[in-house]
Structure 1
């Protein structure tokens, strides 16, 4: 099991925790929309650091993005396993072809 899978398991385990004692539980208790908003904020921060070129800050922000992505997925009942299965399905397919299928 890799770090991302462990993190997803931890987030799932905190879904029913007391929001007073868990940041993850607090985010989830605020609902999927708030989780999505938080993900968006972190994504913007990662973009800013990518443009600035600070590798250490980008690395930290990317970790925040992954955490908040997993929280958002948990809030909507989507598992990391499902996302990984979708990536497996797309493997070997041109990004141009995949986009054309979705847009078509």
Structure 2
């Protein structure tokens, strides 16, 4: 198991949350908390960088949905960036590729 780390970095284009390691039932709440603590103003962009994500279970997917719902509720936008082929397949299979804006870069 790879420990989860979440690093917030502001850029001119967005606030980036870099998610690294395993996102699972033991730590999915950390991602939800990081999104709430980001305090995004309306109209801003949150980019969730999944380039270093090693593993994601259903709790991790649920946390990503919760992050999206929170961001949208405050009038901001969310994108997933640097999504691996395996994660893209999972998002495709669950229909979440229609819910999330998925980009190569923010």
Q: Report the TM-score when normalising by structure 2.
A: 0.28
Flag the structure with higher strand content: 2
Flag the structure with higher helix content: 1
Q: Which has the larger radius of gyration?
A: 1
